[in-house]
Amino acid sequence: MLSMKKKPRQREFGFTNWGGKRRGAGRKPKGERSGVSHAKRPKLAARLTLRLREGLRTLRADDSHALLKAAFAAGSHEGFRVIDYSVQSTHLHILAESSDERALARGILGLAVRISRGLNKLWRRTGRIFADRFHSRILRSPRAVRTALIYVLQNARKRGAWRALVPDAYSSGARFEGWKSGRKHLAESSPRLLARARTWLLSIGWKRHGLLDPREVPVGSPTPG
């Protein structure tokens, strides 16, 4: 469990490096490689849960969902990227990639601040939006990622909040590209708002255990909520 009160501190190195490799030295890349930074390529895949404080309005509404989608896109960068999500009435489930665990913590804390400001403005209130802590789990195997995808994208179906034979409207399921082909009710064909996965686990590895059936329901509950 990571505390939302404790902000990671960045240390500065107090020495000057003379000699050795110089920035910008060497042959410059050409073609598709040019202009592509490899400094903070995503290495970790994680499942995150952010829970509202008690007594607030439901998140499963069109206006709050639109705000959340914009926040997910704006809060993603090279070190932290939201890949898929679902919105429940009192909490958010998120699948994200990050360059390391520190970037993951900083990314989710920054995202929580962005969402809190937006919801307070939308709901015309002040004060904290989220509980003090959020749950995070690093996903380390293809099977763990597939289980997390089902849990996140199909969470509302498990709870009985969504029964239609199409992906949950309050999730990224409509633009998820890992549904089984040949089904009558698949994800809508529309551009993705969020970035595509770049880690092997979230982009390719999980498919070793089979694509997702739109009617599949999570089995059990890895964490409360």
Distance CA 166, CA 159 (A): 16
pLDDT digits (tens, 9 = 90+) for 135-163: 999 999 999 999 999 999 999 998 899 99
Q: 101-123 and 62-74 helices cross at what angle (nearest 10)?
A: 150
Full strand arrangement of the beta sheet holding 2-3: 2-3, 133-139, 44-51, 91-98, 80-87
What's the pLDDT at 219?
81
Task: State the DSSP H helix or E strand holding residue 95, giving kind and residue range, or none if neither.
Answer: strand 91-98
pLDDT digits (tens, 9 = 90+) for 165-183: 899 999 999 999 999 974 4
What's the pLDDT at 120?
98
- Domain residue ranges of the chain, discontinuous segments joined by +: 40-209
Burial annotation 80-94 (CB, 10 A radius, 16+ → b, else e): bbbbbbbbbeebbbb
pTM: 0.77
Protein fold of 40-209: Alpha-Beta Plaits (3.30.70)
The candidate with the shortest Cα–Cα distance to 187, out of 96, 84, 81, is: 84
